[in-house]
Each structure stands twice: as structure tokens, then as C-alpha cells.
Amino acid sequence: MARVMGIDYGRKRSGVAVTDVLQLVANALDTVPTHTLLQYVVDYVSREPVERIVVGQPTQLNGQPSESMRYIKPFLAQLRKKLPHIAIDTYDERFTSTLAHRAMIDGGMKKSDRRDKARVDSIAATIILNDYLSSRNNGI
């Protein structure tokens, strides 16, 4: 089996997470400057088998796409062009940053460490990917 990659796309930096090869658990992989994200993903896919990439889709409370989608759509188009053999999905990412902060507090992380936005982004990518895996396994 191949891995599934999750991305929490941001204008400045993006969090990246991947599953194990059995696609049971997602783990934070890295946080990278967004302007290098496409090359980062291409390089990773050249080293590791990845069958699907899940990109967080920012959605408003009313279910409509948020303003951030105008930045994500061009990235998705570039990703599909560079990696046509890999399935690319979007997945609702509402509240993932809030959940990431809550996970850091619940995990006992120091306040100074919780201010590290790169850490929040990689945890948010992990949450997006775990939620995606759960919905897929539950047939949602």
C-alpha cells in the first residue's frame, strides 16, 4: 500500500502530514514555506509511494468556500499537472487550527511552544488527514 499525504495550505507556510503505509495513522511530517510546497511534495512523492493527497479546503460556517480558496485553487491545478498519477482530494478543514491548539494544550505543551505557528500548521495537517481517514473508513 502507499501513503496518503495531507496538506494544510497557508499563504505563508503549509503543514504536511502523511499516513503510515497501511493508512491507519496520520503523523505530522513537516511545515514548509508555501512557495516551496509544490517542489517539496514532488520530491517526497519521488522518494515514497503516495496514492492520494488530501488538501484542506477552508470552508465558512455556512458551508461555502472561504476567500482562501482563491489561493488554493491554483496550487491544486499545479499539483494535478505535476502529479497526474496521484488522486488529489480536498477535505473540509473547519476548526482544524482551533483543534490543533486544543491538542497542544491537552498534550501539556508549554505556552511558548504553542506559539510556534509552524507546529500548529503541521498538527492541523495531521488533523485534516486523520479526519479524512475516519470519514473514508466510516463511509461518510
- Domain tally for the chain? 1
The kind and range of the H/E element at 128 are helix 117-137
7-46 in b/e burial notation, b at 16+ Cβ within 10 A?
A: bbbbeebbbbbbbeeebeebebbbbbebeebbebbeebbe
What does the pLDDT look like over 11-54, one tens digit per residue? 999 999 999 999 999 999 999 999 999 999 999 999 999 999 99
Give residue 101's domain range: 3-137
CB 41 within 8 A of CB 5: yes
What pTM, to 2 d.p., does this model score? 0.82
CATH number at residue 65: 3.30.420.140
pLDDT tens, 80-126? Answer: 999 999 999 998 876 555 555 566 556 666 666 555 566 777 888 98
119 by Cβ neighbours in 10 Å (0-12 / 13-18 / 19+) ranks as middle
